[in-house]
Structure 1
Amino acid sequence: MTTNTNNNTSTSRRHFIVGSSAIATGLAIGFDLSLISSANAAMGTGTTAMTPLDLPEIGVWVVVKPNDDVIVRVVRSEMGQGTITGLAQMVAEELECDWKKVSYDYPSPAESLKRKNVWGSYSTGGSRGIRTSEQYVRKGGAAARIMLVQAAANQWNVPASECVAKNSVITHTPSGRKTTFGKVSIAASKLEVPKEVPLKDPKDWQIIGKSLNRIDGVADKVTGKQVYAIDLKFPGMLVATIKESPVFGGKVKSYDAAKAQSMKGVKKVVQVGDTAVAVVADTFWQAKMAMEQVNINWDSGANVNVSSASIKKMLEDGLEHPDSFVHNTNGDIKTAIAGSAKTLQSTFFYPFLNHATLEPQTATAKWTPDACDAWVPTQDGEASLAAVIAASGLPSEKCNVYKVNLGGGFGRRGAFQDFTTQAVNIAKQMPGTPIKLIWTREEDMTQGRYHPVMMCKLTAAIDGKNNVTGINMRLSGQSILAAVRPAIVAANKGKDPVTFQGLEDSGEHGFTYDFPNITVDHAMRNTHVPPGFWRGVNVNQNAIFIETFMDEMAEATNMDAVEFRRKHMGKHPRAVAVLNAVADGIGWTKPAALGVFRGVAQMRSFGSYVAAACELSVTNGNEVKIHRFVAATDPGYVVNPAQVARQVSGSFVYGLSALFEEEITIEKGAVVQKNFDTFGSIRLYQMPPVETIIIQGGGKDWGGVGEPTIAVAAPAVLNAFYRATGKRLRNVPLKNSGIKLV
């Protein structure tokens, strides 16, 4: 793919501390200027000056400097997925500015709250960063362009309709007079924001749809200069680490900190709520070493008797229980099964998974009786601010959150702000001192918000003519929303709709197969292990369940796997298109090389249609070598094709790691896996090349990119593995079946 050069590839790091509320209004709610200046210096800006407070704000999404530099407001979080660049491209498209002069800034969530949530949702998850922002950020760019053009027209005393903007230059067409955005930006900032803002037709896009270079400081990431939350330094800062009850639901009964308190660098040992103890010291290492000397007596409670074996038994009971929540149903599956010539049945297991962000959970807080500031690597600035307000005991106007770069998110740093709450609670016990809380890797592994555990039993009814007349799909396992958003479950009469991602009868996670009789239901079996939104969420296991079973049904009815899918996808042309793309790309109808076998899978989730095909070989019956993947994605529209290709490849790393290596198990109520030696991921040498096919404009809706394609990697591999060995693998991870990726 062609990549256009963008010289503006780095962003002033002071933006990560100051926030664009300072640029916009000069308001600095809760700002501690000494901390900001020190943070700027620590982050390598070479200056301690704050961002100027008098720059003209054109609408709420754009700031234009006198030198024509354009600052685009971004409230979604950047986690390596390229959201910042994509959002900036959409604003720049409608603004008609010079892309080489574009940078970005984060508005403070406190400033947004003060301005009645003018920047909308700060949440970055569910592949929503682009697709649920595109309308209003594009309108923000268009509104700013209209205001700039009007300001120039006013200056020339001509109708605005006679003026056009292009590449940050405004031209009066009849006379040829020209001016720049920077020269009229102050006048434009004083105009009323237009209410009616037409947007470009997609056929006229010049920036959206191009593989422009990223603007979020890629070079600094490569060289190690990028400052993440774990790197922050302030004058007088102390560092804390924490230990929470290893059994979920347990509490601190008592603790002896005498030895730890006497160790070098240790400032204080404090209890945090009723579930944890923290050590505060000069350095993280001192805090960690001292924590190992704190003798904590835990009250583990009744959950100490829970194990992976007892959880699995509970799920197995759910597979057979008569009560369930039905979500997708058509026809009469019981009659279809009773009248079938034969039935096909398979049972699957998918484990708990941790997010395992490379940067463990961390946050920095400073609390005084008059203010509380926090610096957080967050996927949702509003959620972080809410946590700070709640923990600080202060009114909202005395609290603020500054977003700092995330060393990985994947759903862990959005709805779950336990680390933010802990940082504030520790800081409250040392007023006026900046406290940086850093979890150990062991704490991060054992105090996660885990991908839910799930089992599935699939039954197919097949008639005498080898037609599949119906499918019954019983899910048995944990509900995320029951723990995280119980109001949604209550509104759905006890059902968790998120459980059915990829299996719904309609919507952005709609099922792309049509059978005359179908029932998909869920026996909810919640455990004491806290569930969370894990990249791709429930579509990951649902794709394995249905897509490997589709291959089984194809074999049982003597049909080719691709042809069998097409037969049942007649009402879903976009799903057929991505399936055809990967089948053609992998050469499905042509013989594979000797010893090489192929598998396919497709799915719809997060509003996108995705498919994958792979080629692999197996030696010694258990050593899998994946030679290549072909992946097709139809998200409706694509902002930056190069970013999509990177996202697809990155998501396959995630999907394959979960398939082959990863699981969280429970013994005596606690997580067994403590570090990457027991919770592994695939290595670079194991990762196959991924050829990405992008189908643009397949629909008018905007779909997601970062999460949908994770799901199809695993079933494509499982289907190819069966063709190579004749063995069906239905329990994840494959390492438990002696299978390894080489």
Structure 2
Amino acid sequence: MRTEWMNTQAAPEPATLNGQGGMSRRGFLKATGAVGGGLVLGFFVPGAGRVALAQPDKPVSAPNAFLRIAPDNTVTVSINRLEFGQGVHTSLPMLIAEELDADWTAMQATLAPAGSAYKDPAFGMQMTGGSNSVKNSFVQYREIGARARAMLVAAAAQQWHVTPDQCRTDKGMVYGPGDRKASYGELAESAMKLPVPGKVSLKDPRDFRIIGKPTPRLDAREKSSGKQQFGIDANVPGMKVAVVARPPVFGARIAKFDAMKARAIKGVVDVLEVPTDRGGTGIAVIADGYWPAKQGREALGLEWDTSSVEKVSSDKQFATYRELAKKPGIVARDADISRLARAPKKITAEFEFPYLAHAPMEPLNCVVDLKADSCTVWAGSQFQTVDQGAIAKTAGLKPEQVTLNTMMAGGGFGRRAVPTSDYIVEAVNVAKAYHATGKAGPVKLIWSREDDIKGGYYRPAHVHRAEIGLDAKGNILAWNHTIVGQSILTGTPFEPFMVKNGVDATMVEGMGEPYEVPLRLSVHNAKANVPVLWWRSVGSTHTAFVMETLIDEAAQIANVDPVAYRKKLIGDKHPRHLAALDLAVVQSGYGKISLPKGRAWGVALHESFQSVVAYVVEASIEKGVPKLHKVTAAVHCNQAVNPLSIEAQVQGAALMALGTTLPGAAITLKDGVVQQQNFSDYTVARMPDMPQIAVHIVPSGDAPTGMGEPGLPPLAPAFANAVAKLSGKRLRKLPFELNAGTKTA
């Protein structure tokens, strides 16, 4: 596997930022409190109006907010996100280090706790999601570095009785006339006494020496050596461990259990009935460790009352969805489709996508230390602001009485960003029940792998139905399209901003563009007793597959090369798409080299989170099973902050996407019960499935766009398009069912 990147092209003049997108002096914090002294800086951009979710807020200050320069010259950066594999523990410090002119070898990072100072500058809440971490903090973190640098230079100039413009900085040092020099650590204390500049100029991208360079991760050594502490490793003195027996059908309630048998297990200290998500109840077994808690749960002899909750069965659900898809729904995008009925050629296609579990390698967990007037929590939270509020409400406290420590997390893919804060609320409820018995001390709630797979909040199941009319030459005349599925935003705080006229924006994202096609799009919002949530790349997990396989099929009907067909439909309105597609084609050798016998090319292109990824793949069918051999990826994410992180994200996203094509990659329900429970019956891609991947980055000096998720959507359709060439069948389902494919024209 390899990544290639290029130096950025000429970019606009350096920006002077002090208004929207910048920060005024009053938004900064200057405080002591760091051990051994030093310079501490931090700020919060209130809303900034760049995203629909941004809400007005007051600037706030907090001790030790973002940046600390210690006397020994180390620079510690507080990360306002969750680090769970995407690399922000390195990329965000790179932004500060660039403008600070820091010595990269002296950089350190730490995850910030929940706090108003750490809110996303665009969303107005502390969160990690939507591939927004680098994108939304690109200016924020650079300004912190630039202001700190200006204060250090001012301190040096004051000591040396020279003007600041007579000084320069490099690798953690300030240099002045007459061979004067001082380290940042030496200057930090005096810099603290100076006013924070209200206006700074940021570097021209052409002058970057850290941003854009492949940089090993700051947390790589700890993680590769096993020293890194994740949420599940948290160990607080006096802590007990809890597991919860949850209803087999979502929202059901406990009818009967045998607490005595569970208490008979050595190490079990309590057995308590607790509220669970969606109005259900369950049984918490609290013990001296995980194993006795788990054994105690197995001894409960549980009986459940499921009489008052809906019991979903996947077969019936898909049958209902297919019937709905034949009827017009709520119009999300309108177009004239009058030419559909008389089109000489047609494509009628029905697609099915199952529920998907997030299945991160680290199952959910949370430590709660609840006291009468405070609550301290340790968790790998993606939604610190939301979770802190939920903890406070559940515990009967004020948010300021809650300390939420952000722990490293072993993956998440959206599961740790739940508007209901389900697993954290459950943990607090367990702690409340435990303390109500007169006991004290922290409680650590751990989900097993089976709990995680069966525990809900899945990528929704969807059915798409497309009717496309083409002329004799294969040009698209009209396209009528219907999507059926559950809304993930209805009933959440995001509904007012992202559900318009009954259309959940995440359900239809990725439909249509960049192609100039007359698309009429409608949706049906289905209801089901299955909790659903965003899953890496959200709606694009299904819309990209539908769009890119149908465009490929149309190209086949037109008897036009699929790359040429796409480029014609894109036209000249989407240069970033064309740049990514062209780069993938050139680097793969598509159309220039001969593939081994039994292999075929597959192409797909998709934009999500404002980044474009194009794939050209090589695939075969071996003993009736599709096999992916080689992947060439081209990425247009504007300024590449850390090419190594982009490579890792594309590799991981491609493998995760490949997993969605494999047999068994589906969550199914029967009579309301999830049928899968572990990796033995819920398929995820493994190392032997990994193809050879080459990642190429389109050069750009524009501000970064998202990169954590965009590598996922186009992989499966590119693979499917290659399989269609080999088998003569168009695949309409994920995971792949080659025997159920539709013959191509």
The one-letter amino acid of 1:100's match is T
Q: Would the aligned equivalents of 2:81 and 2:112 in 1 still touch at CA under 8 Å?
A: no
Alignment of 1:700-719 (within 5 A): 700-719=702-721
Please name the residue that 1:479 is paired with.
487
Q: How far is the alpha carbon of 1:157 from its aligned partner?
A: 2.3
Q: Would the aligned equivalents of 1:314 and 1:525 in 2 still touch at CA under 8 Å?
A: no
Please name the residue that 1:196 is paired with.
199
| Farther-moved stretch of structure 1 (255-264 vs 538-547) | 255-264
Q: How far is the alpha carbon of 1:55 from its aligned partner?
A: 4.0
Please name the residue that 1:328 is paired with.
333
Q: Would the aligned equivalents of 2:326 and 2:465 in 1 still touch at CA under 8 Å?
A: no
- SS of residue matched to 1:212: coil
Counterpart CA distance in 2 for 1:438 and 1:453 is 27
Please name the residue that 1:541 is paired with.
542
Q: How far is the alpha carbon of 1:53 from its aligned partner?
A: 7.2
Match of 1:127 among 118, 131, 134: 131
Alpha-carbon displacement from aligned partner over 1:631-679 (angstroms, at most 9, x marks no partner)? 1100011011111111111111100001114110011112110111110
Q: How far is the alpha carbon of 1:472 from its aligned partner?
A: 2.0
Alignment of 1:224-623 (within 5 A): 224-273=226-275, 274-322=280-328, 324-330=329-335, 332-333=336-337, 335-416=338-419, 417-431=421-435, 432-485=440-493, 487-488=495-496, 492-503=500-511, 511-515=513-517, 517-570=518-571, 571-590=573-592, 591-620=594-623, 622-623=624-625
Please name the residue that 1:205 is paired with.
208
Please name the residue that 2:26 is paired with.
none
Alpha-carbon displacement from aligned partner over 1:408-434 (angstroms, at most 9, x marks no partner)? 111001225222112211112333311
Match of 2:688 among 672, 685, 693: 685
Please name the residue that 2:59 is paired with.
none
- SS of residue matched to 1:455: strand
The one-letter amino acid of 1:99's match is W
Q: Would the aligned equivalents of 1:599 and 1:613 in 2 still touch at CA under 8 Å?
A: yes
Is residue 2:147 matched to residue 1:139? Answer: no
Match of 2:627 among 617, 625, 628: 625
Q: Would the aligned equivalents of 1:64 and 1:71 in 2 still touch at CA under 8 Å?
A: yes
Please name the residue that 2:100 is paired with.
95
Q: How far is the alpha carbon of 1:171 from its aligned partner?
A: 1.5
Q: How far is the alpha carbon of 1:2 from its aligned partner?
A: 9.5
Q: Would the aligned equivalents of 1:241 and 1:279 in 2 still touch at CA under 8 Å?
A: yes
| Farther-moved stretch of structure 1 (380-389 vs 145-154) | 380-389
Q: How far is the alpha carbon of 1:289 from its aligned partner?
A: 0.7
Q: How far is the alpha carbon of 1:623 from its aligned partner?
A: 2.0
Counterpart CA distance in 1 for 2:30 and 2:316 is 56
Counterpart CA distance in 2 for 1:244 and 1:402 is 26
Identify if the C-alpha distance between structure 1 residues 736 and 386 changes in structure 2 by more than 3 Å, giving closer, same or farther: farther
Counterpart CA distance in 2 for 1:170 and 1:209 is 24
Please name the residue that 2:85 is paired with.
80
Q: How far is the alpha carbon of 1:321 from its aligned partner?
A: 1.9
Q: Would the aligned equivalents of 1:663 and 1:679 in 2 still touch at CA under 8 Å?
A: yes
Please name the residue that 1:44 is paired with.
none
- SS of residue matched to 2:708: coil
Alpha-carbon displacement from aligned partner over 1:407-466 (angstroms, at most 9, x marks no partner)? 111100122522211221111233331111101211111112100111111121112443
Please name the residue that 1:651 is paired with.
653
Identify if the C-alpha distance between structure 1 residues 562 and 119 changes in structure 2 by more than 3 Å, giving closer, same or farther: closer
Q: Would the aligned equivalents of 1:461 and 1:468 in 2 still touch at CA under 8 Å?
A: yes
Counterpart CA distance in 2 for 1:112 and 1:199 is 22
Q: Would the aligned equivalents of 1:355 and 1:450 in 2 still touch at CA under 8 Å?
A: yes
- TM normalised by structure 2 equals 0.88
Counterpart CA distance in 2 for 1:599 and 1:127 is 26
Match of 1:669 among 669, 672, 685: 672
- SS of residue matched to 1:734: coil
Match of 1:109 among 90, 99, 114: 114
The one-letter amino acid of 1:705's match is M
Q: How far is the alpha carbon of 1:527 from its aligned partner?
A: 1.6
Identify if the C-alpha distance between structure 1 residues 287 and 57 changes in structure 2 by more than 3 Å, giving closer, same or farther: same
Q: How far is the alpha carbon of 1:143 from its aligned partner?
A: 0.8
Q: How far is the alpha carbon of 1:293 from its aligned partner?
A: 1.3
Counterpart CA distance in 1 for 2:95 and 2:613 is 24
Q: Would the aligned equivalents of 2:490 and 2:499 in 1 still touch at CA under 8 Å?
A: no
- SS of residue matched to 1:337: coil
Q: Would the aligned equivalents of 1:240 and 1:278 in 2 still touch at CA under 8 Å?
A: yes
Q: How far is the alpha carbon of 1:401 from its aligned partner?
A: 0.8
Match of 1:57 among 36, 40, 48: 40
Is residue 2:180 matched to residue 1:177? Answer: yes
Counterpart CA distance in 1 for 2:133 and 2:116 is 20
Q: How far is the alpha carbon of 1:501 from its aligned partner?
A: 1.6
Alpha-carbon displacement from aligned partner over 1:680-721 (angstroms, at most 9, x marks no partner)? 112212211101011121x73421111011011100110000
Identify if the C-alpha distance between structure 1 residues 582 and 460 changes in structure 2 by more than 3 Å, giving closer, same or farther: same
Alpha-carbon displacement from aligned partner over 1:609-649 (angstroms, at most 9, x marks no partner)? 111011111123x2222221001100011011111111111
Identify if the C-alpha distance between structure 1 residues 289 and 689 changes in structure 2 by more than 3 Å, giving closer, same or farther: same
Q: Would the aligned equivalents of 1:599 and 1:716 in 2 still touch at CA under 8 Å?
A: yes
- SS of residue matched to 1:109: coil
Counterpart CA distance in 2 for 1:350 and 1:3 is 34
Counterpart CA distance in 2 for 1:73 and 1:299 is 47
Counterpart CA distance in 2 for 1:499 and 1:427 is 37
Counterpart CA distance in 2 for 1:429 and 1:464 is 70
Q: Would the aligned equivalents of 2:474 and 2:555 in 1 still touch at CA under 8 Å?
A: no
Identify if the C-alpha distance between structure 1 residues 88 and 410 changes in structure 2 by more than 3 Å, giving closer, same or farther: same
Q: How large is the RMSD of aligned CA atoms in angstroms?
A: 2.4
The one-letter amino acid of 1:62's match is L
Q: Would the aligned equivalents of 1:58 and 1:188 in 2 still touch at CA under 8 Å?
A: no
Identify if the C-alpha distance between structure 1 residues 467 and 670 changes in structure 2 by more than 3 Å, giving closer, same or farther: same
Alpha-carbon displacement from aligned partner over 1:488-509 (angstroms, at most 9, x marks no partner)? 37861222111112126xxxxx
- SS of residue matched to 2:169: strand
Note the residue ranges of structure 2 that are not aligned, 5 or more in a row.
6-28, 43-64
Counterpart CA distance in 2 for 1:157 and 1:448 is 65
Counterpart CA distance in 1 for 2:243 and 2:638 is 45
Q: Would the aligned equivalents of 1:586 and 1:630 in 2 still touch at CA under 8 Å?
A: yes
Q: Would the aligned equivalents of 1:110 and 1:399 in 2 still touch at CA under 8 Å?
A: no
Note the residue ranges of structure 1 that are not aligned, 5 or more in a row.
5-22, 28-50, 505-510
Identify if the C-alpha distance between structure 1 residues 268 and 737 changes in structure 2 by more than 3 Å, giving closer, same or farther: farther
- TM normalised by structure 1 equals 0.88
Q: How far is the alpha carbon of 1:549 from its aligned partner?
A: 0.5
Identify if the C-alpha distance between structure 1 residues 522 and 272 changes in structure 2 by more than 3 Å, giving closer, same or farther: same
The one-letter amino acid of 2:486's match is Q
For these two proteins, the number of residue pairs brought into alignment is 683
Counterpart CA distance in 2 for 1:647 and 1:566 is 26
Q: Would the aligned equivalents of 1:75 and 1:121 in 2 still touch at CA under 8 Å?
A: no
Alpha-carbon displacement from aligned partner over 1:168-198 (angstroms, at most 9, x marks no partner)? 11112x4332111111101212222222121
Counterpart CA distance in 1 for 2:120 and 2:315 is 50
